[in-house]
Structure formats: C-alpha cells, structure tokens
Amino acid sequence: MTGLITKLFAMSADANGVSELKPREIVFTGSKLAFSMPENFSPDFPAENLISQVDLNNSALYESSNKALLLRRWWDFTEKSFFSTNQMGTIMLSISVVRSSVEYSDRLALIDVIHKGLDKQYKESNKTTQADFQVAYPETYESFNESLFNGQRWLSYVVAPMNASEATVSFVSPLSNKHYVEMAFTLMPSAKIDTREFEDKFSRVFIDTLMTSTSLKYEEEGTGNRLGVDIDAPGIDDLVSKKLK
C-alpha cells in the first residue's frame, strides 16, 4: 500500500511539485476537524483561504443556503508514458458545514436529513433532464455506506450523472444535533480514461489517504458516542434493524 501511495503522489507531483501531506484543522463550536492534504494543488484552479474558525450558530455563515463552504482544493493526476505525460483527470475536495432545519437524534435520522436535501436538489430537475444527464443519488438507507477512520464512523454516499462523466463521493459526520461536516471528493476524469478506471488508478487511494488522516475531536466528553460517531456506538445496520422491528 505504501508503494502505491508513493506512486500516486509521484504522478501528481510531476505536474505540480510538492506532494508532502500537510496538517490542517477547522475549529467548530464544540468540536475540531483535523486532517492532512498534499499541497501540490492544480495550478488551473485558484483557491480561497481555508475558513479555520467556525461559529456554528452564526446565521451569516448560511446566508445563501444551509451549506457553508469552508475549503475547496483541486489536484491533477497525470500518467507518464515513454513519449509523453498525459493528463488523466482532476479531483476536487470540498469541505462544508451543513445546518439542518430539524434536529436529528441519531445517524439514521441524519440520513433522512441528507436524503431530503438531495431529493430537493435533484428530483424535480431529473424529470426535465435527458436520461444520460439525470443524477443518481441515494434514495434508501441501503444506498448509504459506513466507513471507519481513526476509530470513528463516517456516513458515505455517491452522487453521479447517469452518463458517469464524473462522480462525487461524500463523507459526512455530525458535529451537533443540527450540524454536520461534509467532505466531498468530486472525480473529474479526462477523456482519456473513464470514471471507473480513474477511480481504480487514482482516486481510491487518494481519498483513503486523506480520510485516514481525518478525525473529529469533541470538547465535551461523550459527545462522539451520543452523536453515534465513536466506533462503539451503534452502526447503521443496527439502527436500521432496530427501526424495522
């Protein structure tokens, strides 16, 4: 695995230079998100500064919507041949904090909140969009996955157009009973490679590397377990089974 990660970042570094992982953090009201990322950013997409201090109760943060963007970065991926270096695609990471209109008691209820937001965003537009360009998104509990990083549970799901020209893989974890953080990786392969191959060759290891560096730290003891984030909290399968009884 280490050799594969080294190879991956070497490919990206050919275009942009430094690929060493650098730590970052975002301090929220009552919690902190720690993560690391390489700094060999794509030169084609200038990025704004990271918002590193976030008051979850600041209404100005959500002026345009219930989702506030805190960071957005892009990385280019290339593949060398004997004769040339080919641009294979780009991955965009967006980190956002989302304010729910209702409180949720557990992560199963959080899935309902996320689904309603996706439904509102895509359901009506899909009705008037050509089939190839309609967006597929999770519509049942089974469409959501659960990933473990640093002993913490993250909800994960995929949103993608039917033509599979790109895809967004999102990881979500609660910060409070009305706020959650979203780390969304958008895969944008070039015409030289399809989305599945781009995922196999580049994005899977890249995403796993960044998420493995990620953890949530809560000021109040027991908050992680109460919100269902800790590894010893009930998993989604357990919550679904309990709901269906």
Neighbours of 97 (CB within 10 A): 22
Instruction: Measure the N-to-C terminal CA separation of the chain; round to a whole number of Å.
Output: 41
pLDDT given at position 141: 86
Q: Report yes or no: 24 and 51 within 8 Å, Cβ to Cβ.
A: no
Q: Report yes or no: 155 and 142 within 8 Å, Cβ to Cβ.
A: no
pLDDT given at position 99: 94
pLDDT digits over 57-81, tens only? 998 888 778 999 999 999 999 988 7
Full pLDDT tens readout for the chain, 245 residues: 444 444 444 444 343 333 689 999 999 999 999 999 999 999 999 888 999 999 999 988 887 789 999 999 999 999 887 777 888 999 999 999 999 989 998 889 999 999 998 998 888 889 888 888 899 999 888 889 999 999 999 999 999 988 878 899 999 999 999 999 999 999 999 888 888 899 999 999 999 999 999 999 999 999 999 999 999 888 888 888 877 76
pLDDT given at position 245: 66
**DSSP per-residue codes, 24-52:** EEEEETTEEEEEEEE----TTS--PPP--
Distance, CA of 22 to CA of 218 (rounded, Å): 22
pTM: 0.88
pLDDT given at position 140: 85
pLDDT given at position 132: 85
Query: Which stretch of DSSP H or E encloses residue 100?
Result: none
pLDDT given at position 9: 41
